[in-house]
Amino acid sequence: MPLQSELADIANRNGVDFFGVADLAQAADFILRQGGDFIARFPICLSIGIALPHAIVDLLPRRNERAVQVSYRHHAYDVINNRLDLAASALGTRLQKAGHAAFPIPASERVDDERICASFSHKLGAHLSGLGWIGKSCLLITPEQGPRVRWASVLTDAPLSATGASQPDRCGDCMKCVDICPVRAFTGQHFNCREPREARYDAAKCDAYFRSMEQENQMKVCGLCLYICPFGRPSNGTPDRFTPLRVPGPLPRETR
């Protein structure tokens, strides 16, 4: 079995719902600024995603209730992040056994408190893999599940083929995520890879909001921007489940 097909099979056997491969050359400057020389040395990203349970996400308007907080933090955050990290580890092990460098990026770990970011953007990796677009909430929006997906990444130097072109923004005039944000952290601007994140999103406002929850001995739960997004909501006709692993088709050679 070709290595890329084998990696997709490993992801599938580890319960991953979305799998893609991105050529990172088109975002090299952004990746270098965020992650530094070590992260920027990797030319390829494996992007993996697991969908969140709709029944739990749909309770987020009641996020002040302890039972809702516990369900969301445990099942839709801690458990899924752990599943992603285990899948990323399995993919990294296979890449290393094949003679390639592999560097898994944790599903949800901040490495820079000043800039409030990780060493690599999972959303960017998924976007460049053709799995969705970055919305006004700065979340990765998939056609199938909207933003109701958590992501992890594995950086590598393996000679893999990009699985799809970046999807165009389909948010249009919708401002639901902007309007529902309790701290008005979003400006409503569409994603532009040439603009800094601050043009769309004030991460410090979110961070301060979560810190205020801790000071009041509450669990850090919000998620209203992913709850309200019309894409992926079961009430909008999206099925509660989907069975096939979402793997974009490979890019035609002339577009790589």
Q: Given a cut of 70, is residue 24 above it in pLDDT? A: yes
Residue 251, amino acid: L
CB 188 within 8 Å of CB 153: no
Torsion angle (degrees, nearest 10) of CA 136, 142, 146, 151: -90
Question: What whole-number percentage of the chain has pLDDT above 90?
Answer: 79
CB 54 within 8 Å of CB 147: no
b/e code 214-240 from CB counts within 10 Å (16+ = b): eeeeebebbbbbbbbbbbbbeeeebee
pLDDT tens profile 207-248: 999 999 988 888 999 999 999 999 998 864 444 444 457 777
> Looking at residue 164, what is its pLDDT?
85
| Tokens linked to 103 | 């560097």
pLDDT tens profile 168-199: 999 999 999 999 999 999 999 999 877 888 89
CA distance linking residue 179 with residue 190, whole number of Å: 15
- The fold adopted by the segment(s) 3-251 is NADH Oxidase (3.40.109)
Q: Would you list the domain boundaries of the chain?
A: 3-251
